[in-house]
A and B are shown apart, each in its own frame.
Chain A
Amino acid sequence: MASESRLYRWFNRRGWSDIVLAAPYVWLLVFFLIPFLIVVGMSVATRTPTAPPFGYGGENPLLNFEGYHRLFTDDLYIRAFVTSLVNAAVAMVLCLAIGYPMALGLTKVDTGWRNILLMLVILPFWTSFLLRVYAWMGLMGKNSWFNNLLTGGWNWLVPQDWAVTSIPMMYSNFAVVLVMVYTYLPFMILPLYANLERLDPTLDEAAMDLGTKPFGVFWDVTLPQSIPGIIAGGMLVFIPAAGELVIPTLVGDASSPMIGRVISDEFSQARDWPMASAVAVVLLVLMVGPTMLYSHYQARAVGADDPK
């Protein structure tokens, strides 16, 4: 113990503890705050045909808020924001509906199986994300076995008049949501599992003992205690899904783009950096609330401030 405390004293005297504590702040400053300020700065610049394609002042006002003005008046941007938030919200709800039973099931199986199943949840990450999206594109395409199977099922179920030759899945918000649910499902399952796994099973027994049937036990005991996990998992799906670029670009409907694609197009195709920056700034501001909600509940889900 003595040597340990000497080590700590040396550590503190030399200011190492300050450095260690400062590291995350420096990280945030260098890789988040400064880039963010650059983007904010860009968002109030004026588009020019120079390189880089923006500038301040000249014949235009020093600070140009045209980007923000367009953003709130041109319904292309408003629609893109709405599409993004709705798609992300739908994906989040579907992930919750699929992920909650899976996470709960994981806590009920014995340890050997649990580790295998947990590995299976993470396994898709071992393959390139892009490859997996391309695989979905293949599956959803008009002549794939998957589409044929669904088409066959549809034609068998519905009256003849409604029969179709194939189900149009690609290049739609349906496809975007489907692939986002597939991609982000582990981000819902893992925090939920971490939350549910820590719940005391004797609480379930106590509720049963006091006259509650198993479904009621879930409702009274399990669900309220898993709210931190639901919020953490929900935000972990919602936040990246709202800003998603690759999925809507590859499988989405180009006529109703999501906001990530708008930012990308403004930057690379329209070369309107100030406009793209304005959109990015507004997206970030919209995400501040959910992010704060997430970090608050993420700590509770893993029990950092466990009341016990």
Chain B
Amino acid sequence: MPKDAAPPPLIRVENVSKSFGTFQAVKNVSLTIDKGEIFALLGGSGCGKTTLLRMLAGFEETTGGKIFIDGQDMTGVPPWERPVHMMFQSYALFPHMTVEKNVGYGLKHEPMTAAQRQDRVREMLDLVQLTPFATRKPHQISGGQRQRVALARALARQPKLLLLDEPLAALDKKLREHTQFELMSIQERTGVTFIVVTHDQEEAMTLADRIAVMDRGEVKQIGPPGDVYEFPNSRFVAGFIGSITALEAVVEAIDGVRTRLAVPALGGPVQARSVAGLSVGQTVTVAIRPEKLAISRAPQTGDNVFEGEVKDLAYFGKDSLYRITMPSGALISVHAVNARRSAEGERVVDWYDKVWLSFDPTSAIILTA
């Protein structure tokens, strides 16, 4: 093997499908995950993300394709023989065992002495800061503590891969933010590869090195959070992650890096960054994220400047969301930071103001799928 060759991926999912009767839960999914990565499977309910996770854990057999973990074909390998542990959404702690027993449960299958086992349990409890709760039963600790017990239990056997099913869904908002960072730091310290299943895009964006966006059993896009957010490859991905205004457009002219589009909803041409494979006259979607638009009461001129009227305004404190009616009747969302302090009634931009919207050509996303 050449010295500078990249190490083979830890997980290889090759054309995996899963049907339940006539329902296809997962359709021909292929992806690779490297060692030490935090990988998120993101999608709405019923998109197949949990089924894919269960196939990785071995609770479901694939109906097509193969899964390789560390080069080993997992077909027919039962869950108890896979180097994979799972943190269940409900945590699935054993109610009749103490925290300590729960954490040490997987270790009874390891060739270890009792003392080694106890050391490992102690080390794990230390990692999740639960040492004082070792002898409690799961119902005697809080939800956040239970989540940490579940994590410690899943990590105790040093799996090659840890599967986390909606790890933060059962926690309240404050605890969730804190736990997110804790998960990341634990992952960094242990070096275990994480696959996180979530329906929460913020959770996926903050936790993951890469995200796979799934819809109806298919993987729509795989990439780092920034790529998936800023360069969505389809209307679905653009709409699923963050909010976006999508408008119908027709390609008028292609001039190198710039493409001019006719956008009837905006009442004028839009200059956007070209994408490969466009042809003049093609109908596409032009999409723009609310925070990429500038809003101003002073008249503006130039490319990508459009006039409209404030129809709705939602004030969040640090920022505001505006809904602008265009002369065509289309509604455009604009998200702007409230950089200046202003009293109620003295806002820079207020209800029914005439405003000018502008954006950089690089901010407009041309979507063909």
Contact = CB atoms under 8 A, between A and B. Distances in A.
Nearest to B59: A205
Given A210-B157, A212-B109, A225-B96, A205 B79 contact: yes
Given A206-B86, A307-B139, A211 B106 contact: yes
A137 B137 CA distance: 51
Nearest to B156: A210
A211 B88 contact: no
Contacts of A212: 80, 109
A220 B94 CA distance: 9
Contacts of A307: 95, 137-139
B94 A203 contact: yes
Contact of A224 (B58, B78, B96, B139): B96
A114 interface: no
B95 A209 contact: no
Nearest to A210: B106
B135 interface: no
Interface in A53-79: none
Contacts of B81: 211
Interface in A250-308: 307-308
Contact of A210 (B105, B138, B139): B105
Interface string A198-236: 001011011111111100000011001100000000000
Interface residues of B, number: 26
B95 A211 contact: no
A209 B57 contact: yes
Contacts of A205: 57, 59, 79, 86, 88, 92
Nearest to B86: A209
B85 interface: yes
Query: Main secondary structure on chain A at its contact with chain B?
Result: helix
Interface residues of A, number: 18
B90 interface: yes
B183 to A, nearest CB: 19
Contacts of A225: 95-96
Contact of A213 (B80, B84, B88, B157): B80
A210 B153 contact: yes
A206 B90 CA distance: 11
B79 A208 contact: yes
Interface string B67-89: 00000000000111100111010
Nearest to A211: B109
A207 B85 CA distance: 10
B82 to A, nearest CB: 8
A229 to B, nearest CB: 13
Contact of A203 (B78, B86, B92, B137): B92
A58 B105 CA distance: 72
A143 to B, nearest CB: 52
Contacts of A209: 57-59, 79-80, 84-86, 154
A202 B92 contact: yes
A225 to B, nearest CB: 6
Contacts of B58: 209
Interface in A88-123: none
Nearest to A224: B96
Nearest to B106: A210
B39 to A, nearest CB: 19
A285 B58 CA distance: 54
B112 to A, nearest CB: 13
A107 to B, nearest CB: 17
A212 B96 CA distance: 17
A186 B85 CA distance: 40
A208 B90 contact: no
A200 B94 CA distance: 10
A207 B108 CA distance: 11
Contacts of B153: 210
A220 B96 CA distance: 10
A210 B88 contact: no
A209 B102 CA distance: 13
B157 A211 contact: yes
A210 B85 contact: yes
A202 B88 contact: yes
Interface in B44-69: 57-59
Nearest to B81: A211
Nearest to A202: B92
Contacts of A220: 94, 105
- Residue with the greatest number of chain A CB neighbours at <10 A, chosen from B78, B81, B94: B94
Interface in B149-180: 153-154, 157
Top 4 A-B pairs ranked by shortest CB distance? A307-B139, A210-B106, A206-B92, A211-B109
Interface of A: 200, 202-203, 205-213, 220-221, 224-225, 307-308
12 contacts: A202-B90, A205-B59, A206-B88, A206-B93, A206-B94, A209-B59, A210-B85, A210-B153, A211-B80, A220-B105, A307-B137, A307-B139
Given A206-B86, A206-B93, A209-B58, 15 more contacts: A200-B92, A202-B88, A205-B79, A205-B92, A208-B78, A208-B79, A209-B80, A209-B154, A210-B80, A210-B109, A213-B78, A225-B95, A307-B137, A307-B138, A308-B139
